[in-house]
Amino acid sequence: MPPRPRLRLSGVISGKFDFEARAAALFLLPVTVVLVAVAVFPIGYSFYISLFQLKLTRPHRVPFVWLDNYAKILTDELFWSSAWRTFSFTVMSVTAISILAVLIALLLNETFRGRRFLAIILVAPWAIPTVANGLMWKWIYDSSFGALNGALLQLGMIDKYVVWLGDPEKTLPLIANAFVWKEVPLASILILVTMKSIPADLYRAAKVDGANVLQRFIHITLPSLRPGFMLVFIYETMMAIRHFDLFFILTEGGPAQASHVASWHIYVETFRNLSFGTGNALAYVMAIVTFALAYFIIRTLGRRL
């Protein structure tokens, strides 16, 4: 945000700084109380728990184990393989979302009949519950009666029905597809809004200088999209890394461990193995990684892109 020059006349003239500060404090009190209670405190408490060997199967023996939980989870092979799956899921999804969002924004940036209709239906996937999204795609991917098999068979692209989610090779891309379908609308809206804010003069100047459509797109549109694009990139990366719902509904981490991603790993460790200490340590590692990643993206890409 560029700093805007401001004159705090009311403050300067009557020397009401104290009063202002008090008013601000009063207005911020409720939100501070709420956020400390539901965000700050739990995050701290979470780290505290991660230092204990807390298993609900043995609730009365809770020894303090320093960083043993972290050592334990980091030496677990499943941790690294699940981290790798989360990484590939994130790369797949975010790449697809970015490309599709720019294409859709380019389309909606044109003026034509039906544009408004497209803009309105576009918010529908964004609005539905992820659980309903999962249910819908589970039924589309169904290996015996699903729409995907039906459509591909009728189009002659397959000879017989194919197993989709049950095939370890296909599971992650298919879940990513369901994720992308739901996330693309918001991303396109954000990019479209940025696109509309590009000043017309830039294009006029470029045209005078003899730039063609493609050159104008590469040298004006893409660089000007940076703020919106950055936002989409960071937001969708965060969402993809932590995503849980679709894995729960569509595959429960299976088949075998083909969709055993990091968030599913945390869930299993915590609520199926009932090991709160290690589960929390896992969650904490994920928090630190996402935080570091957001910081890294803003610092490097944010400057260069």
Partner 1 sequence: MLAKGGSKHARWKLRLSGWTRLAVIFLFSVVLAGYVLGPFVWLASSSIQNEREIISVPPHWVPEDPTLLNFKAIFLAQRKGVTYETRTQADPVSGGYIPSTAKNLLPSLWNSLIVAVSVVVLNLVVGIPAAYAMAKIRFRGRSTSIYFMLSTRVIPDIVLVVPFFLFISRLGLLDNVLSLIITYLAITVPFTVFILMSYFESLPDELDKAARVDGCSRFQTLTLVFLPLALPSVAAIVLFSFLTSWNEFLLALMFTQTIASQTMPIVIASFTSDFTISFSFINAAGVVAVVPPVLLAVVFERYIVSGMTAGAVKG
- CA–CA dist 260, 280 (Å, integer): 17
Buried b (16+ CB within 10 A) or exposed e, 97-114: bbebbbebbeebeeeeee
Of 75-83, 89-97, 166-174, 262-270, the segment contacting partner 1 by CB under 8 A is: 262-270
Selected from 51, 62, 83, 231, the binder of partner 1 by CB under 8 A is 231
In sequence order, the β-bridge partners of residue 55 are: 275
94 binds partner 1 (CB under 8 A): no
Residues within window 134-193 making contact with partner 1, judged by CB under 8 A:
134-140, 142, 144-147, 149-150, 153-154, 161, 181, 185-186, 189-190, 192-193
| Of residues 4-43, those binding partner 1 (CB under 8 A) | 6-11, 20-21, 23-28, 30-31, 34-35, 37-43
Stretch near partner 1 under the rule CB under 8 A, chosen from 62-70, 71-79, 80-88, 286-294:
286-294
Beta bridge partner(s), residue 64: 52
Q: Are 133 and 154 in contact (CB under 8 A)?
A: no
> Applying CB under 8 A, does 114 fall inside the site for partner 1?
yes
Near partner 1 by CB under 8 A, which window of 69-77, 80-88, 163-171, 270-278?
270-278
The yes or no reply on residue 70 touching partner 1 (CB under 8 A) is no
Q: Should residue 65 be labelled a site residue for partner 1 when binding is judged by CB under 8 A?
A: no
With residue 287 as reference, give the H or E element that holds it: helix 276-299
**Closest distance between partner 1 and the C-beta of residue 100, in Å?**
9
CB 28 within 8 A of CB 19: no
Whether 234 contacts 298, CB under 8 Å: yes
CB of 11 to partner 1, least distance (A): 7
Identify the residue among 51, 83, 294, 305 touching partner 1 (CB under 8 A). 294
The reply on whether position 194 binds partner 1 by CB under 8 A is yes
Q: How far is CA 199 from the centre of its chain?
A: 30
Q: Report phi then psi at 30, rounded to 5.
A: -60, -45
Amino acid in position 168 = P
**Which CB sits closer to partner 1, 172 or 185?**
185
Residue from 51, 170, 216, 255 that binds partner 1 (CB under 8 A)?
216
How far apart are the C-alpha atoms of 152 and 131, rounded to whole Å? 25
Minimum distance of partner 1 from residue 164's CB (angstroms): 14
Beta bridge partners of 275: 55
3-state secondary structure of 146: coil
